[in-house]
Amino acid sequence: MADHDSRQGHRYDSPEILDYLNQLHASHGGVPGAGLGSELGKGLAQAFAAPERQGLPAIQVGMSEGKLLAMLLRLAGARRAVEFGTLAGYSAIHMASALPADGHLWSLELEEKHAVAARENIAAAGLRERVTVLVGPALASLPQLESQGPFDAVFLDADKGRYDLYGRWAAAHLRPGGLLLVDNAYFFGRLLEDSAEAAAVRRCHEEAAPSFDSVCIPTPDGLLLGIRK
């Protein structure tokens, strides 16, 4: 059920509730394939802690959002996926863990320092062969990728001011039935503001709506989910 307040955006979560549920449902040792002490669980924990430990911005997805990405890829039977914005590899490890052994994730990252950390964490998770991190502005790396498509899933989590371009690329390179996933779909609460970045995120939503069966999942900052028509 929902009540009037929750339909208007009121939330019933709290740091304590989120922590309790993250530990119960999304602990790093509990993801499929990650028995206690396994490489995958260690790699996830290492990547989640990496930003603070290695002086990178701590802007990785939350534990539940990471697990949700992996579960959506599993449900879609994804084999080939693309991520915009690698950081230290936390979401990349979740996504790659959901692909079959012959599947592949290409993750695009602007900063060499982030890519170095990500490759280290992905290797620690035992997923070195399943993930390629391409360094440079995402738009410059895309032409190298196109021969690998069509893709089963595309996750946007890089610079929000280019979400319209990234979303357009995803629509052109996802197979019918493929998944578009867009983090920060509320743009940190500024989605309806009059700024170039907010307008780019709105264009991403507006162009996705007719090409995808879409819904915006109310995660803390919104996760747009689209199934390519």
Ligand X SMILES: C[S@@+](CC[C@H](N)C(=O)[O-])C[C@H]1O[C@@H](n2cnc3c(N)ncnc32)[C@H](O)[C@@H]1O
**Single residue of 78, 82, 108, 156 touching ligand X by CB under 6 A:** 108
H helix runs in the chain, sequence order: 4-7, 15-25, 39-53, 63-75, 90-97, 112-124, 138-145, 163-173, 196-211
The 135-174 contact track toward ligand X, x by CB under 6 A, reads --xx------------------xxx---------------
Q: How many angstroms separate the most distant Cα atoms in the chain?
A: 49
Q: Which residue lies nearer to ligand X by CB, 10 or 58?
A: 58
Which of helix, strand or coil describes residue 221? coil
The 59-88 contact track toward ligand X, x by CB under 6 A, reads xxx-----------------------xxx-
**Single residue of 26, 72, 91, 179 touching ligand X by CB under 6 A:** 91
Of 87, 143, 140, 141, nearest to 112 by C-alpha is 87
Applying CB under 6 A, does 121 fall inside the site for ligand X?
A: no
Q: Which residue lies nearer to ligand X by CB, 90 or 186?
A: 90
Which of helix, strand or coil describes residue 31? coil
Q: Which residue has the tokens 């964490």?
A: 121
Applying CB under 6 A, does 90 fall inside the site for ligand X?
A: yes
Count residues near ligand X (CB under 6 A): 18
